A and B are shown apart, each in its own frame.
Chain A
Amino acid sequence: MGHVWAKLLLVGLTMLSACGAPMQRVDPDQDDALGGTGVDSADVRATADKIARSIVAMPTIFARGTPYVVVQDPQNQTRFPINDSMIVDRLVTLLVQNSAGRVQFVDRANWELVQKERQLKRSGAVSVPTDGSGQPNLAAAPLGTDYFLTSTLKSLSKDNGELNSDYIVVTFKLTDAETGALVWQDDHEWKKVGEKGVIYR
């Protein structure tokens, strides 16, 4: 009997000490205990996942072969200052990892780096790598793009003193870089309501 009580006490004390743990690893797809109605890790992941699936499921952009895409930084028009490039970074990662090269991306973020390296190679300042047949591996020009992928985050926010609510829509567009035609559009949306603590109202 004494052992049972000792074990129960031990379990209880272990649980108590866990309550005060300074750090825990948590699932990024779950909401955390910190509250707030802004953009969370789960929103970033769900948005990227949905949009990646939507892009590879669209036959139009594959009609002319492998599409090349320039991804623009999103435009944040919510009331939350966030590092919104996380969403498109995650999206590109998913497409690169899972589309088996069906979608190619042009890295314009490193445009200056690419230009400088091209100059160095052509001036002889650095060596020129060769392809499989031993020929210099030089492209006539940097890649142009077939499409621009742009995105915007917008929100509707309400507050009644006790509750906050924020409805957020992230809209993605694929624009033909030659004609300007809007060839695809999709979005991901969510709404969150949060209650303020009674001492902060």
Chain B
Amino acid sequence: MRSGVLGFLRRTVLLPVACALGCSAPGTADAGRAWFAGDSAGARALLDARLAEDPDGRALYLNELGVLDLERRDLAAAEQRFGEAWRLMESLAGDDLDAVGAIVGSEASKQWRGDPFERAMNSWYLGLVYWWRGVHDNALACFKNAIFVDSSHGEERFDCDFAPALFLEGLAYRRLGEVGMAERSFAVARELAPGCPALAAGNDGNVIVIVEVGRGPTKVAAGKHGELTRFVAHPEVPPAIELLADGQRFGSPSRAGDVHFQASTRGGRDFDSILATKSGIKTGTEVAGIGALLLADDVKDKHQGAMVVAGAALLLASFAVRAEADTRHWTTLPHEVQLFRGTLPPGKHRFEVRPGAGWRVAGPGFEEIEVPATGEVLVYQRVLR
């Protein structure tokens, strides 16, 4: 019975708090590096291992693995992973001991639920998977949610500016027979990306090509104690990407959405003020500790010992305060989303996305697509350096 109570206390109080003070969540930077270097198997192995050992980062690992599933066109696995990540990221629960741990200790000890742009991208991918699996109403739900989470953070100060989600929302509405709603979504998408011919009014091509290009933003710590976060862009994209159908040039996609822009244009978080306070405490105790140690030399002998102890205690307290922000982020996201829309005769076609020199596609080099007699086919490819 005694060991039961100790186990309970260990599980519910000691471990979360100790972990918050001492542990730092592993993140996925190494897996991302492996994947961008062309080592999908290595990236998968790293992510599978993390998935097994770190429940707090589960949504992050599932999202990264979902991108790898898309690379090999395993839609069933991608739906399962993005779907579970969706449920974890959309959860509202959170004011428990994990919250205490994140406030008292390191922010990265909390369950990872991503920034708004990461939640939007999770919904974007889940929507694409539902579309390809023929569940068009759930695809619509996901594109709507991508728009919602991209637009709603912080007293609705932001409007969604991710044109690809609005365009796909329009397609899904139209597939469900809601023509008026579809036209509204198409119009907003056009406003957001006026230079993208795929979104132009009157372009009713039956082949829609989504090309995700490059490497998404890297979240890094800034500030004296790492209490701030910044997104570093990786803006390299190939000068031109060629689309070929049956060996003939079909067109080139153009930019419709910028993931780095999505990441870097959000407002601050409520939690940032907690981190700022912790950073202030850390600096204050550090200065006071050093001051006490310096003064210890000048005071009378009988007070010297007390000053040294006080100074050491303050420095220890400063050391114990974890003010650094959580920099775990979804590493396998693209830098930008490009779109193309054109027309092919109904039937089977051999399709290829050919990036310029120094770039490659992640996924099959050629795909056989089936263009329907009515409606449209959605083709996807990821282009990496």
List residues of A whose CB falls within 8 A of some B CB.
Answer: 10, 13, 16-17, 19-20, 33-38, 74-82, 84, 157-162, 164, 194-201
Contact = CB atoms under 8 A, between A and B. Distances in A.
Interface residues of B, number: 44
A110 to B, nearest CB: 19
Interface string B118-130: 0000000010001
A158 B99 contact: no
Interface string B73-116: 00000000001001000111111101100110001001001000
Given A16-B8, A81-B142, A160-B155, A198 B83 contact: no
A36 B5 contact: no
7 contacts: A35-B91, A157-B148, A157-B152, A158-B152, A159-B148, A159-B149, A199-B99
Contact of A84 (B94, B137, B154, B274): B137
B180 to A, nearest CB: 13
Nearest to A159: B152
Given A19-B8, A37-B92, A199 B145 contact: no
Given A161-B154, A199-B102, A81 B138 contact: yes
A198 B101 CA distance: 12
A17 B153 CA distance: 39
B4 interface: yes
B366 interface: no
With most chain A CB atoms within 10 A of its CB, the pick from B93, B96, B142, B149 is B93
A200 B141 contact: no
Contacts of B93: 33-35, 197
B122 to A, nearest CB: 11
A13 B5 contact: yes
A73 to B, nearest CB: 8
A113 to B, nearest CB: 20
Contacts of B110: 199-200
Contacts of B98: 199
B178 interface: yes
Contacts of B271: 198-201
Given A35-B93, A164-B92, A200-B113, A20 B12 contact: yes
Given A81-B145, A197-B93, A199-B98, 6 more contacts: A77-B176, A81-B86, A81-B130, A81-B142, A157-B148, A157-B152
B328 interface: no
Interface in B123-173: 126, 130, 137-138, 140-142, 144-145, 148-149, 152-156
B94 A81 contact: no
B270 interface: yes
Contact of A200 (B12, B94, B176): B94
B267 to A, nearest CB: 8
Contacts of B126: 81
Contacts of B83: 81
